Chains A and B, each alone.
Chain A
Amino acid sequence: MVADEPHQIVVRLDVVLAERGMTLTELADRVGVTIVNLSVLKNDRAKAVRFSTLSAICRELDCQPGDLLVYDRA
C-alpha cells in the first residue's frame, strides 16, 4: 500500500524554526496544531501533510513549502 511505502521527503522544520528563533510550542499555538503532531512532522515521522497545515506553517514562519520539505535522493 502506498501509505506504508518508505519515502525520501525530509522535513526541515527544525532548521527553519531555528532560523526564525521560534520554538515548536510557539508554532503549535500559532498554527493551531497540537505539539504532538508538529513533533511528528519535525521528526520525519509524518506520512502526509494537509495543505491547510502547510499553509499555516508557511504563513507563521514566512517561508515557502520548499523551505520546509526537501527530496533526499540518497
Chain B
Amino acid sequence: MRVPRSNSRVLEVLLVAVAIAAVVFELLPLALGPAGLGVVGDSSGAIIVDARLDTRVVVPDALRHDDGAVRTGTASHPAELIAPYSATARILDPTPFDRTLYIVSRAAAPLLGLAIIGLLLGVVRAVRDGDPFTRASARRLSLLAGTVAAGGLGVNVLREMADNILLARTILSSVVALDATLSFIPLAAGAAIAVLAEAFRHGSRLREDVEGLV
C-alpha cells in the first residue's frame, strides 16, 4: 500500500525537528556551558556528574537504626533510605582534560541521535517517493541497525567510563562507588532493526522480480 506523501512529509519534518532540538537543547548548551566555552550556566565552571556513593559513606547515627537502615520521615509517614545512595557531584575547577572528557561523553548520545535521524531520513524519503523497497533502503536499515546497537552500547560505555574517570580524579573517589551498569536495550533494538533490514532486502528482491512485469 502506498503511504500518502503528506504522511511521509510530516514524518520528515518531525525528524528534522528532533534533530534541531538535539542540537539546540543538547549540543549547544554543552558547547556553551561550563565545561565548554563557559558562556552560559554555572559561572563557577564546575561540571556536574551523577554518582553512586560507596557504602562506606557515613550517615549520622541519629538517623541510623540497629539494622543499619536509615529511617527518615515522620511517625505517621515512615520511610527509610537504603544504600547505595546516589548523589550529584560538582567537580570544581576541572582541568582541560576533565572538560574534554565530559563534553565528549555527553555529546556522544546526541551525535548518535543525529546519525540515526540522518539514516532514517533517507528511508523516509524513499517511502515518500513511493519506492521504499530498494537495495539502498535495505543498506540504510542495516547501517542503522549497526549504528543503534554498537553506537548505543558505545555511548553507554563511554559515559560510564568518563564518569568513573572524572570522579576517580577528584577527592570524591574515597566515597564514590565506581559504576559499571550497562543497558543491553540498544543491542535488542539493533537486532530488531536488522530483522527489518532483512525484510526490506527481501522486499527489494521481490520488487526487482516484478519490475518490467506486464
Residue numbers of A with Cβ under 8 A of B are 1, 3-4, 33, 37-38, 40-41, 45-50, 53
Contact = CB atoms under 8 A, between A and B. Distances in A.
Contact of B212 (A33, A38, A40, A53): A40
B214 A49 contact: yes
A8 to B, nearest CB: 16
A1 B213 contact: no
A4 B211 CA distance: 10
Contact of A37 (B205, B208, B209, B214): B214
Interface of B: 205, 208-214
Contact of A46 (B205, B208, B209, B214): B214
A48 B208 contact: no
A1 B213 CA distance: 15
A18 B173 CA distance: 92
A38 B213 CA distance: 10
B212 A47 contact: yes
Contacts of A50: 213-214
Contacts of A41: 214
